[in-house]
Amino acid sequence: MRRTEALKIITRVLKQPVPDVPPADLITGHSVAVFDPRATERPKPWAIQVDVLALKIAGQLPLEADSEQSPVAQAEDAKRSRDLPGELDILIGAGAALTSAPWYPARPGDLVHVHFEPVGSMAAFGETYLLTAGAHGFLSMKLLCHSLPEDTEFLDGMVGCFTVEDDPDPLSDLWFEAGPHRLTVIRDGRPVHTGGTR
């Protein structure tokens, strides 16, 4: 989860009344929590600005790569919320982030590793792809190896799904669907993009 989203969630929760507790009028921008004067049992008030408290809590949250969403997943969330401008901003921003990366465009010989988080009973695994020159002037991306056991159910449908032949932008699907935070791009033996690094 991105820190800004965590901050919004925490602020919303802090403002929301808690059942069986005298409600507090916690207003962002006010430095004192004003409690309902009609409450028979009044908790000891504490004074803090709500957005400051939310910022302090959000600052303590772990930021793990597996909690981030791919651009496609973010856009789907915006679509479910009927936020068309947000959906477009996410997709356009992700495309711009790819095409403006200092190592873009991909080159023959680049290695791309994608890390997948565990899902259900399946353990985390990774795939490594090699970019090669395509037959018609573009690039192909072929699966070199993966770390799933060979007896994994539905193995054929799970690995190698980002293989492309003679594609003008072979990294596009990986970037949007898996997410840049799950990708490592290696060029000439050196990492040029390490998505899991902060």
Q: What is the pLDDT along the chain (198 residues), one digit of tens a residue?
A: 445 566 666 665 565 444 444 445 444 444 444 555 565 555 545 455 565 556 556 555 544 434 578 888 888 888 888 888 888 888 888 889 899 989 999 999 999 999 988 776 677 888 999 999 988 889 999 999 888 877 765 566 678 888 999 999 999 999 988 889 889 999 998 899 988 654
Q: What are the boundaries of each domain within the chain?
A: 3-63, 67-194
Output the pTM of the full model.
0.61
Residue 15, Cα to own-chain centre: how many angstroms?
A: 26
Kind plus residue range of the DSSP H or E element containing 156: helix 155-158
The DSSP symbol for 161 reads T
Strand segments (E) across 15-118: 24-25, 34-35, 111-116
- Mark 44-74 as b/e (b = at least 16 C-beta within 10 Å): eeeeebbbebbeebbeeeeeeeeebbbbbeb
